[in-house]
């Protein structure tokens, strides 16, 4: 893990709280700061409120208390969130929820068209994003006939086509095969100018793609900046073969 | 679930812009729907058959599609000729066949077959996405277009979910039958499907909001009419005019019965 460049806070959460009806607070007095160009991972078990946190940040859920500050402005009204969503892209846990057009190109162009780009601009931008992700051949493919890994990458393309400054990635590796996972690692490492916050329960994936890994407990993000030297041995079948864990 | 088996062909019909085909189908079916004259309707059916041939759809496959409505037509033939009254063609002690009934049944049969074939050649020869864009460019409200697109997109997922629910029931030795337990199981499966659909709809809506969706549907497609589109539309309008003429001139059907 490398030290992040010192830079201004882009997104901060102050005392954020949220609970689903009739349930205890799943997000409880949470404080968090995401700097520009910072790449942060959150490793936490399922049900710890990671997805809820992301939905709160982009205003899909309303917090019961606390503030969301983006670029120095407090975001509270739906109008503010609409502007925020142009710059903060959320990659959903289930790619199927995110791809709603029959063809890949239309789906990727949906965001840019909504942002008021012309058809020609939206088409050019979408093709460029697809090309950057190595998906040039996918433009005319039918979205529901893609494999799980392909869907995830296309979903990422739809988010990137909005030209966001911040990416929120919700379990980006869930259901991915080895090759696609490595492709995703390379892609994320190439996003130097983008900040991203990623939740995943795959620790190895987080170490390869982020500078800091935090955890979530009791509705709070815990920052553990101390280095803990540790090593461990482990055994499994075929362990003699040279291999990596991810 | 939806095969779209005619959508990818190479024929003069397939080479027309989707908008042209949709518009032609609307004009023709409107004229057919409003006609009562049997000569007009037979002409329309002939035109429909010619369209099927020029779209290079095999007549066998087209006929198989017509079978879908055969049951409905059979019902009409079983009821109408015996219940309409008026001039009597044939009768015995307990049944009488009326001329109006036969004419009506014949009219309905011709109309149904003609319209089905028209839609088969002009509309089912394009993908659902193309149809949506054609309707959009014909100024159908964007909400309806979006509804069509999203229904099409998620129908497959819904089918997947239904299949996985059915599998889950099957591996626990569920066998369809006629017992209360069975009906309850089906009710629960259906209920679960609705719950999941509603759940997914919410997630999809959220995903749309995340991509700056504001209720307006912007299409990426741009259609440019080529000369052949204008020629085809002109031809369709001319044919429609002929059918209307046959209708308004009240050229009567020589009674064959």
Nearest-CA distance A128 → chain B (Å): 15
Over range A55-72, report the average pLDDT: 91
Do B25 and B118 fall within a single domain?
yes
Q: Does residue B89 lie in a domain region?
A: yes
Query: CA gyration radius for chain B?
Result: 24
Asked whether A107 and A101 are in contact (CB, 8 A), the reply is yes
What pLDDT sits at residue B253? 54
Q: Does residue B42 lie in a domain region?
A: yes
What pLDDT sits at residue A161? 92
Number of structural domains (chain A) is 1
Mean pLDDT over each residue of chain B, to the nearest integer: 85
Mean pLDDT over each residue of chain A, to the nearest integer: 86
- Per DSSP, the three-state class of A240 is coil
The confidence band for B9, taking pLDDT boundaries of 50, 70 and 90, is: confident
Nearest by CB to A162, which of B153, B211, B220? B211
Q: Does residue A55 lie in a domain region?
A: yes
Nearest by CB to A97, which of B200, B218, B219? B200
Cα(A33)–Cα(A50) distance, integer angstroms: 15
Do B117 and B227 fall within a single domain?
yes
Do B40 and B108 fall within a single domain?
yes
Q: Does residue B254 lie in a domain region?
A: no
Question: A48 — contact with chain B (CB < 8 Å)?
Answer: no
Which pLDDT tens digit goes with each residue over A143-174? 878 888 899 999 999 999 999 999 999 989 88
In this structure, the number of other CB atoms found within 10 A of the CB of residue A11 comes to 24
Asked whether B209 and A85 are in contact (CB, 8 A), the reply is yes
Nearest-CA distance A6 → chain B (Å): 29
Q: Does residue B215 lie in a domain region?
A: no
Q: Which residues of B touch A109 (CB under 8 A)?
A: 220
Give contacts of A 136-175 with B, CB under 8 A: 143-144, 158-159, 162
Q: Which residues of B touch A144 (CB under 8 A)?
A: 153, 156-157
Nearest-CA distance B92 → chain A (Å): 59
Nearest by CB to A100, which of B150, B156, B214? B150
Q: Does residue A112 lie in a domain region?
A: no
For position A38, which CATH number holds? 3.40.50.300
Q: Does residue A91 lie in a domain region?
A: yes
Q: Does residue B180 lie in a domain region?
A: yes
Q: Does residue B169 lie in a domain region?
A: yes
Q: What percent of chain B has pLDDT over 70?
A: 96
Do B232 and B120 fall within a single domain?
yes
Q: Does residue B4 lie in a domain region?
A: no
Closest-CA residue of B relative to A91 is B207
Instruction: Provide the residue range defining the domain that includes A41.
Output: 9-98+166-222
Instruction: Provide the residue range defining the domain that includes B53.
Output: 18-126+223-248
The confidence band for A228, taking pLDDT boundaries of 50, 70 and 90, is: low
Question: A122 — contact with chain B (CB < 8 Å)?
Answer: yes
Cα(B172)–Cα(B188) distance, integer angstroms: 15
Do B41 and B164 fall within a single domain?
no
Q: Does residue A196 lie in a domain region?
A: yes
Cα(B149)–Cα(B154) distance, integer angstroms: 9
Number of structural domains (chain B) is 2
Asked whether A134 and A183 are in contact (CB, 8 A), the reply is yes
Cα(A5)–Cα(A24) distance, integer angstroms: 38
Question: A90 — contact with chain B (CB < 8 Å)?
Answer: yes
The confidence band for B250, taking pLDDT boundaries of 50, 70 and 90, is: low
Do B116 and B243 fall within a single domain?
yes
The confidence band for A4, taking pLDDT boundaries of 50, 70 and 90, is: very low
Q: Does residue B7 lie in a domain region?
A: no
Q: Does residue A140 lie in a domain region?
A: no
Does residue A3 surpass a pLDDT of 50? Answer: no
What pLDDT sits at residue A2? 46
Q: Long-range contacts made by residues A234-238, C-beta under 8 angstroms, separation at least 24?
A: none
Which pLDDT tens digit goes with each residue over B137-175? 888 888 888 888 888 878 888 888 888 888 888 888 888
Does residue B222 surpass a pLDDT of 80? Answer: no
Asked whether A216 and A178 are in contact (CB, 8 A), the reply is no
Q: Which residues of B touch A123 (CB under 8 A)?
A: 220
What pLDDT sits at residue A1? 45
Closest-CA residue of A relative to B145 is A101
Residue with tokens 């190895």: A204
**Does the beta-carbon distance from B149 to A100 stay under 8 Å?**
yes
Which pLDDT tens digit goes with each residue over B73-114? 999 999 888 887 777 777 777 788 888 888 889 999 999 999
């Amino acid at each position: 893990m490398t030290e992040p460049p010192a830079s201004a806070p882009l997104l901060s959460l102050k005392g954020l709280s949220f609970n689903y009806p009739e349930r205890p607070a799943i997000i409880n007095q949470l404080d968090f700061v995401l700097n520009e160009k910072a790449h942060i991972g959150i490793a936490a078990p399922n049900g710890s409120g990671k997805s809820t946190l992301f939905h709160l940040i982009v205003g899909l859920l309303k917090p019961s208390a606390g503030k969301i500050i983006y670029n120095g402005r407090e975001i509270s009204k739906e109008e503010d969130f609409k502007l925020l969503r142009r710059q903060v892209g959320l990659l959903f846990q289930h790619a199927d929820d995110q791809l709603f057009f029959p063809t890949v190109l239309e789906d990727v162009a949906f965001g840019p068209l909504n942002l008021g780009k012309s058809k020609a601009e939206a088409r050019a931008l979408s093709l460029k994003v697809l090309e950057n992700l190595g998906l040039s051949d996918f433009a005319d493919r039918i979205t529901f006939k893609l494999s799980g890994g392909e869907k995830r990458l296309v979903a990422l393309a739809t988010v990137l086509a909005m030209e966001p400054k911040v990416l929120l990635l919700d379990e980006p590796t869930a259901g991915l095969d080895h090759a696609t996972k490595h492709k995703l690692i390379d892609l994320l490492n190439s996003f130097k100018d983008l900040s991203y916050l990623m939740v995943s329960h795959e620790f190895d994936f987080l170490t390869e793609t982020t500078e800091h890994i935090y955890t979530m407990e009791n509705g709070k993000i815990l920052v553990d900046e101390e280095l803990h030297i540790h090593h461990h041995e482990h055994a499994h079948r075929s362990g003699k073969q040279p291999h990596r864990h991810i | 679930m939806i095969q779209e088996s005619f959508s990818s062909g190479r024929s003069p019909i397939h080479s027309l812009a989707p908008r042209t085909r949709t518009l032609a189908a609307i004009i023709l079916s409107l004229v057919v729907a409003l006609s009562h004259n049997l000569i007009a309707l037979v002409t329309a059916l002939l035109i429909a058959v010619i369209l099927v041939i020029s779209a290079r759809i095999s007549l066998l496959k087209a006929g198989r599609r017509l079978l879908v409505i055969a049951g409905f037509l059979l019902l009409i033939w079983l009821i109408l000729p015996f219940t309409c009254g008026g001039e009597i063609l044939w009768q015995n002690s307990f049944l009488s066949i009326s001329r109006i009934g036969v004419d009506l049944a014949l009219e309905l049969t011709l109309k149904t077959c003609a319209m089905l074939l028209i839609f088969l050649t002009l509309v089912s020869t394009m993908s659902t996405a193309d149809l949506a864009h054609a309707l959009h460019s014909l100024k159908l409200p964007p909400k309806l277009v979006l509804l069509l697109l999203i229904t099409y997109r998620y129908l497959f997922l819904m089918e997947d979910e239904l299949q996985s629910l059915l599998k889950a029931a099957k591996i626990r030795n569920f066998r369809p039958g006629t017992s209360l337990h069975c009906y309850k199981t089906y009710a629960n499966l259906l209920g679960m499907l609705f719950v999941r659909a509603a759940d997914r709809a919410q997630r999809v809506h959220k995903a749309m909001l995340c991509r700056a969706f504001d209720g307006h549907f912007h299409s990426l497609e741009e259609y440019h009419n080529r000369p052949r589109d204008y020629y085809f539309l002109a031809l369709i309008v001319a044919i429609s005019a002929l059918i209307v003429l046959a209708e308004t001139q009240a050229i009567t059907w020589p009674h064959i019965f």
